[in-house]
Amino acid sequence: MTAKILDGKLVARQIREELRDDVADFIQNNGEVPTLATVLVGEDPASEVYVRNKVRGCEQVGMQSRGFRLPADASQDDLLSLIAKLNRSKDEPIHGILVQLPLPKHIDAARVLQAVSPMKDVDGFHPDNVGRMVQGRPRYLPCTPFGIQQLLVRSGIEIPGRHVVVVGRSDTVGKPMALLLMQRGAEGDATVTVCHSKTPDLAAFTRQAEILVVAIGQPRFVTPDMVRPGAVVVDVGIHRTESGLVGDVDSAVNEVAGHITPVPGGVGPMTVTMLLVNTLAAARQQQ
């Protein structure tokens, strides 16, 4: 058995086509273009690629993007001052603010993300937005978990009643992923188990998963013996190795799983697309 591919590029393209029409309607009705501000500190090559992808995504759906860049040795106060300026921007509307992670080690990322106005927090990381998500009253959902949820739903994967195992408990993927899929409704209602580096006999849990989401940050960590035959496997990881880009899931899992996301071309395009969805939602909120 070879797993069917959950094509993130295809689904992301479908959502962007829908979004392009929604953005055009918003501009026509409000006389304002949804605008995303990207903030990049330093010259990390991977971060530069991610920001370029987000800028290109804005162009594709008719949004505007404005880039702001600080040197790697910029102080935390410099960055907080820039965010404060973007929060209150009036001369040129800025509806969403994206601070590209990771930040230099001398900057407290949690402090910076909390400084972004909850209304412009299109990453969905502000404590106010996280709390609203926990209560089932979301303003903006974190982009990677939101993208995974939409990839599953639009690919015809049933979530209600399924046992989902999430490997990883990060604030950006693992925790919000578990919260999203356990919410009531057709896009949730799953029974969710969260595993991490301190979970004993991790494979005993992953083999129970009907839907397995792997975001542990270790290349090829999940091997075929850890996967239930026919399971849906979502690989969130991406790592540069001598043999090319690989995920957190070993490629041999393709012979065991029923459905699997490719790396690249699976979760990544969905993450960027949901950022665009959140930016339009932010523009609407601010009207």
Q: 4 — phi, psi (to 5°)?
A: -75, 140
Helices 174-182 and 143-154, packing angle to 10 deg: 50
Q: Is 123 a catalytic residue?
A: yes
Residue 162, SS3 per DSSP: coil
The pair of three-digit structure tokens given for residue 105, joined into one six-digit string = 């080690």
**CA 78, CA 82: separation in Å to the nearest integer?**
6
Which residues are 222's β-sheet partners?
Answer: 249
**Angle CA 260–271–125, to nearest 5:** 125
DSSP structural state of residue 279: H
Which residues are 246's β-sheet partners?
Answer: 239
Q: Is 21 a catalytic residue?
A: no
**β-strand pairing of 163-167 with 211-214:** parallel
Which is the catalytic residue, given 64, 120, 121, 123? 123
**CA 63, CA 21: separation in Å to the nearest integer?**
11
Which is the catalytic residue, given 100, 175, 235, 250? 100
The pair of three-digit structure tokens given for residue 179, joined into one six-digit string = 């919260």
What end-to-end distance do the CA atoms of the chain give, in Å?
Answer: 51
Q: Is 135 a catalytic residue?
A: no
Active site residues: 54, 100, 123
